[in-house]
Amino acid sequence: MSKILVIPGDGIGTEVTEVTLSVLKSVGEKNQIEFTLERALLGGCSIDAHGVPVTEETMEKAKQSDAVLLGAVGGPRWEDIEHHLKPERGLLELRKQLDAFANLRPAVVYPALADASTLKREVVEGVDIMVVRELTGGIYFGHPRGKEQTNGGEARAFNTLVYSTSEIERVAKMAFEIARKRRNKVTSIDKSNVLESMVLWRDTVTELHDRHFSDVTLEHLYVDNAAMQLIRRPADFDVMLAGNMFGDIISDEAAQLTGSLGMLPSASVGNEGAIYEPVHGSAPDIAGQGIANPIASILSMAMMLRYSFDMDGAATQVEEAVRKVLDNGYRTSDIYEEGRTKVGTEEMGSLILGEL
Ligand code: IPM
Ligand code: MN
């Protein structure tokens, strides 16, 4: 039996997750697989119910599941809360405790949506990038961190960007292995012209490449240059490998190439399980209106089928269904253009179900 922990979270997270579950149900029936679903709170809703962004109970349930399907967390209601109790801390804690060290974020430009991008069609056509972001280390988790008063009475705050060889190696290995199944190229992103931790990053990636992956083309880019090249020649990239913070930034940029953050799924995989979630956040500005794009969540579920349950065929069916609905001209408001048919969250889900 395949055990999934469903964490809808906050804002549009709850809306898109419900739609995704109806698609998942149909996939299960078609493939005669029984998914056991459990639900848990995380983020703002957990703060409201229990006073903390994640409880021990949620964490236990997550560890006992084969996969976690997550919506989104956070919102303005919880913005003024003390730092260590913010909704986002719940998500970071979940990633850390599941040791989900590699975050895979594919950014694919669908031909039907190439005009929805803010870049010219000829620049984004054919873009098919996989961002592999280190997720449980780097400046997000490094110590020392904190805030203090100096003797002069001024505030001082600090974080630490730290990586060890093994942390870099395991995520780089994942990037090379993924590249072998794609177009065989890895672009590693760092800031080794300034930061010691990033010199180690570059040296470790190079060494691993030369020892075990010399068949894969490896290029290195400084993060500032990578940000520029990504909007200049996005179709040249295959796998982009980066640390936690640079990967966070680059993956939002890659997402925008595709026209909307509402299209992008992600998988966070590691040793103790895996988390599947849309790259977009809880979008409080449109929450509760039934207009959010459920495609990122549905495609995250497809990644779950592929990576956690070895159901490559079923995953492809879901992806194809999404493609067909887009080809037929249906759009949620985030990707809407004149002449297309505007639909809401649930209707988009039903259309995709229909194609399945
Ligand atoms: C993401 C988000 C998170 C991150 C936040 C919500 C903590 O931006 O998944 O990219 O920075 O990792
Ligand atoms: Mn982000």
Question: How far apart, in whole angstroms, are the C-alpha atoms of residue 105 and residue 112?
Answer: 20
- 322, amino acid identity: V
- State the catalytic residues: 140, 191, 224, 248, 252
Gap from CA of 280 to ligand 2 centroid (Å): 8
- DSSP character at residue 105: E
Asked if the domains 1-106+264-356 and 128-256 are classified in one and the same CATH topology, the answer is yes
- Decide if pLDDT at 165 tops 80: yes
Closest Cα to atom 8, ligand 1: which residue? 248
- Decide if pLDDT at 278 tops 90: yes
Average pLDDT over residues 210-222: 98
Mean residue pLDDT of the chain comes to: 96
Gap from CA of 73 to ligand 1 centroid (Å): 9
H/E run at residue 72: strand 67-72
Q: Superfamily assignment of 128-256 in CATH? A: Isopropylmalate Dehydrogenase (3.40.718.10)
Closest Cα to atom 7, ligand 1: which residue? 88
Q: Which tens digit of pLDDT belongs to each residue from 68-101?
A: 999 999 999 999 999 889 999 999 999 999 999 9
Beta carbons within 8 Å of 38's beta carbon, 6+ residues apart: 3, 4, 5, 6, 61, 65
Q: Taking the mean position of all CA atoms in its chain, how far away is CA 208?
A: 25
* Strands 102-108 and 341-342, bridge-based pairing: unpaired
Question: How far apart, in whole angstroms, are the C-alpha atoms of residue 61 and residue 39?
Answer: 9
pLDDT at site 115: 86
With cut-offs at 50, 70 and 90, classify the pLDDT of residue 273: confident
- Decide if pLDDT at 56 tops 90: yes
- Ligand 1 site, CB within 6 A: 88, 91-92, 248
Task: Read off φ and ψ for residue 93, nearest 5 degrees.
Answer: -65, -40
Tell which CATH classification among 3.40.50.10190, 3.20.20.70, 3.90.1330.10, 3.40.718.10 matches the domain 1-106+264-356. Answer: 3.40.718.10
Ligand 1: nearest atom to the Cα of 74 = 6
Closest Cα to atom 6, ligand 1: which residue? 88
The HSE-up count of residue 321 (CA atoms within 13 Å, CB side) is 23
Per-domain residue ranges of the chain: 1-106+264-356, 128-256
Q: Are the C-beta atoms of 239 and 217 separated by less than 8 Å?
A: no
DSSP 169-207: HHHHHHHHHHHHTTTSEEEEEE-TTT-HHHHHHHHHHHH
Gap from CA of 282 to ligand 2 centroid (Å): 12
Q: Taking the mean position of all CA atoms in its chain, how far away is CA 92?
A: 13
Gap from CA of 273 to ligand 1 centroid (Å): 19
pLDDT at site 271: 81
Closest Cα to atom 5, ligand 1: which residue? 88
